[in-house]
C-alpha cells in the first residue's frame, strides 16, 4: 500500500510526496490506521523504524478534520520528549509534514530564555512538542493550557523513565481532560514501562517491532579488544584511514567525551561533542556542523544522542561499550540507513568483556572479532605516537614529575 492510497488530507500527501515518502514502514503500516480511528496505541519500536512519521502523519490529519479556534496557550496535541535535541528533531518532522496546512507547530525546551518561547503560544498551538521540565514550568506560569488537549503523545518513554520523569508524566494526567487519545512509543518494554503505559492508555492497540527487525542488514559489526588507555590511538587511526567518512563516537560520560575530544585535538583531528553539560546553543551548533559535514567526528553520550536522526553516518564507534544492551541497538541504528552500508566498530577493554557478552546475548549472536596480532597492535600505538609527539610519553613524564619531591625555595629569592 502506498501513502497515496491512504485516506488522509491531500495537503499531507503532497508533503509526503515531496519528502520522498512513498510506502509506509512496518511501524507506520501498523500504527497509522489505528491512530486514524481514534484508538490509543502502545508501540514498541526501535530507532530508525520510522516511528516519528507513524504518529505525526495521522495526528496532523485528525487535527485537520476538526479545525478549532484556540485561546492563548491552548494546546490541541501534546508531544513529550526526553531531550532538547529530540524535541527539535520531532518538531521539524511535524513542520515539514504540515507545511501545506494552516496548523501551527510550537517547540519548547530548556536551555534558552522563556520569553521568546512564551510569545509563540500567544495564539495557542495545534501541536506542542516539549520536554517535561519546560512543560511544567510553562503550566505553572500559565503560559500553557492542556485542559482541552485532544491527543497526548509520549515518545522515547523508556528514556524519560531513565531520566527520572515518571512523576512528571503522571502529573500530566491531572491537567488533561478525561477523554483524550494517547499514543505511547517506547524502544523497550519492561515492567516499569508497562505500568506507566497502562496508567495512561485505555484498551490500547499494541504494536511491537522486534529489535531484530530494526537492525539493518546493511551494517557490518566488529569488535576489537583494546586496552582502555589505547582506545584513543585506535580511534585516531580509524579516523585518519577514512578521512571522508562521518563517524559518530559514543562514550559513557560527558567527561569522557571532552577528554576524547581533547586527545583528538592533540593529533589535529577536528571533533564536536554532544552531551548534557553543553549550552543549548553549542549543542545546536555541534549537530549542525556534523550534519552538514563541516566536522566529520561527533563524540556523544547516549542520553544526548538517543533517537537523533543524522543522515549519512558511515561509522558508529562504541568507544565505550554501552552498559544497557538495548543502547547498542540505538547507537548502531544511526548508520546503515535505507540502502546505505554502515559499520559498527566497538572497542572492548578487558574490564568490558562481561558487557560485550551481555550485548551478544541480547543480539542472540556473536559480534565478529577483529583479530589483531601483537605487531598490528603495536603499529597502531606507534602510528599515534608518530603523529602527536607521543601522548603516552607526555603522560609518563607528567606522572614522573608529580612524583618528584618539590624543591624548597631559598629565603630572599
Q: What structural domains and CATH numbers belong to the chain?
A: 3-210 (3.40.50.300), 215-388 (3.40.50.300)
How far is it, in rounded angstroms, from Cα 404 to Cα 391? 20
Per-residue model confidence (pLDDT) at position 279: 80
Per-residue model confidence (pLDDT) at position 118: 84
Per-residue model confidence (pLDDT) at position 15: 95
Residue 235, classed as helix, strand or coil, is: helix
Mean pLDDT confidence for 324-344: 83
Q: What is the pLDDT of residues 236-259, one digit of tens each?
A: 999 999 999 999 999 999 899 999
Q: What is the pLDDT of residues 21-31, one digit of tens each?
A: 999 988 999 99
With bands split at pLDDT 50, 70 and 90, how would you rate the model's confidence at 411?
very low
pLDDT at 172 over 90: no
Per-residue model confidence (pLDDT) at position 210: 62
Q: Which residue has the higher pLDDT, 148 or 83?
A: 148
Residue 249: partners with Cβ closer than 8 Å, 6 or more residues away: 235, 260, 271, 297, 298, 299, 300, 317, 319
With bands split at pLDDT 50, 70 and 90, how would you rate the model's confidence at 412?
very low
Mean pLDDT confidence for 187-191: 77
Q: What is the pLDDT of residues 93-125, one digit of tens each?
A: 999 999 999 999 999 987 777 788 888 888 899
Q: What is the pLDDT of residues 351-402, one digit of tens each?
A: 999 999 999 988 888 999 998 888 889 888 877 754 444 445 544 544 455 5
Per-residue model confidence (pLDDT) at position 92: 93
The overall average pLDDT reported for the chain is 85
Residue 142, all three cell numbers: 500559565
pLDDT at 276 over 90: no
Is the dihedral angle over the CA atoms 215, 216, 222, 223 positive or is it negative?
negative
Strands (E) in 155-218, as ranges, are 181-186, 205-208
Q: Which residue has the higher pLDDT, 325 or 72?
A: 72
Per-residue model confidence (pLDDT) at position 208: 83
Per-residue model confidence (pLDDT) at position 266: 92
At 75, which helix (H) or strand (E)? strand 75-80
Please provide residue 206's backbone torsions phi and psi, each rounded to the nearest 5 degrees: -95, 130
Per-residue model confidence (pLDDT) at position 331: 86
Per-residue model confidence (pLDDT) at position 405: 58
Per-residue model confidence (pLDDT) at position 409: 43
Q: What is the pLDDT of residues 292-318, one digit of tens each?
A: 999 999 999 987 666 667 878 999 999
Residue 41: partners with Cβ closer than 8 Å, 6 or more residues away: 31, 34, 35, 55, 182, 183, 184, 201, 204, 205, 206, 207
Query: Three-state SS across 31-50?
Result: HHHHHHCCCCEEEECCCCCC
Per-residue model confidence (pLDDT) at position 7: 92
Q: CB-hemisphere CA count at 13 Å for 268?
A: 8
Q: What is the pLDDT of residues 45-72, one digit of tens each?
A: 876 678 899 999 999 999 999 888 888 9
Per-residue model confidence (pLDDT) at position 213: 45
Report CA dihedral (323, 345, 190, 127) to the nearest 10 degrees. Answer: 110
How far is it, in rounded angstroms, from Cα 95 to Cα 122? 18
Per-residue model confidence (pLDDT) at position 410: 44
Amino acid at each position: 500500500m502506498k501513502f497515496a492510497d491512504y485516506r488522509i488530507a491531500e495537503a499531507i500527501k503532497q508533503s509526503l510526496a515531496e519528502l520522498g515518502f512513498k510506502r509506509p514502514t512496518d511501524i507506520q503500516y501498523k500504527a497509522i490506521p489505528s491512530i486514524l480511528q481514534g484508538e490509543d496505541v502502545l508501540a514498541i519500536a526501535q530507532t530508525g523504524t520510522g516511528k516519528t512519521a507513524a504518529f505525526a502523519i495521522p495526528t496532523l490529519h485528525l487535527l485537520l478534520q476538526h479545525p478549532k479556534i484556540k485561546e492563548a496557550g491552548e494546546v490541541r496535541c501534546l508531544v513529550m520528549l526526553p531531550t532538547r535535541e529530540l524535541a527539535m528533531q520531532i518538531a521539524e518532522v511535524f513542520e515539514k509534514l504540515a507545511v501545506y496546512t494552516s496548523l501551527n507547530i510550537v517547540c519548547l525546551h530548556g536551555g534558552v530564555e522563556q520569553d521568546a518561547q512564551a510569545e509563540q503560544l500567544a495564539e495557542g498551538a495545534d501541536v506542542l512538542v516539549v520536554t517535561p521540565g519546560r512543560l511544567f514550568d510553562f503550566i505553572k506560569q500559565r503560559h500553557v493550557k492542556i485542559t482541552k488537549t485532544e491527543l497526548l503523545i509520549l515518545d522515547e518513554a523508556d528514556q524519560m523513565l531513565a531520566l527520572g520523569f515518571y512523576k512528571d508524566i503522571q502529573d500530566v494526567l491531572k491537567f488533561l481532560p478525561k477523554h483524550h487519545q494517547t499514543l505511547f512509543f517506547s524502544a523497550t518494554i519492561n515492567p516499569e514501562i508497562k505500568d506507566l503505559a497502562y496508567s495512561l492508555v485505555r484498551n490500547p492497540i499494541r504494536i511491537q517491532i522486534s529489535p531484530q527487525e530494526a537492525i539493518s542488514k546493511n551494517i557490518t559489526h566488529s569488535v576489537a579488544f583494546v586496552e582502555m588507555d589505547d582506545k584513543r590511538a585506535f580511534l585516531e587511526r580509524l579516523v585518519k584511514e577514512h578521512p571522508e567518512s562521518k563517524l559518530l563516537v559514543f562514550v559513557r560520560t560527558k567527561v569522557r567525551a571532552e577528554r576524547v575530544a581533547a586527545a583528538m585535538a592533540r593529533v589535529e583531528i577536528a571533533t564536536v561533542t554532544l552531551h548534557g553539560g553543553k549550552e543549548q546553543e553549542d549543542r545546536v551548533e555541534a549537530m549542525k556542523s556534523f550534519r552538514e559535514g563541516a566536522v566529520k567526528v561527533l563524540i556523544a553520550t547516549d542520553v544526548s544522542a538517543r533517537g537523533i536522526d543524522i543522515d549519512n553516518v558511515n561509522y558508529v564507534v562504541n568507544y565505550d561499550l554501552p552498559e544497557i544492551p538495548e543502547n547498542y541497538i540505538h547507537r548502531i541504528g544511526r548508520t546503515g540507513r535505507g540502502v546505505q552500508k554502515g559499520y559498527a566498530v566497538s572497542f572492548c577493554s578487558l574490564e568490558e568483556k562481561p558487557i560485550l557478552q551481555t550485548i551478544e546475548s541480547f543480539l542472540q549472536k556473536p559480534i565478529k572479532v577483529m583479530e589483531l596480532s601483537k605487531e598490528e597492535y603495536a603499529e597502531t600505538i606507534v602510528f599515534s605516537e608518530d603523529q602527536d609527539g607521543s601522548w603516552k610519553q607526555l603522560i609518563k613524564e607528567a606522572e614522573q614529575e608529580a612524583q618528584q619531591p618539590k624543591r624548597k625555595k631559598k629565603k630572599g629569592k
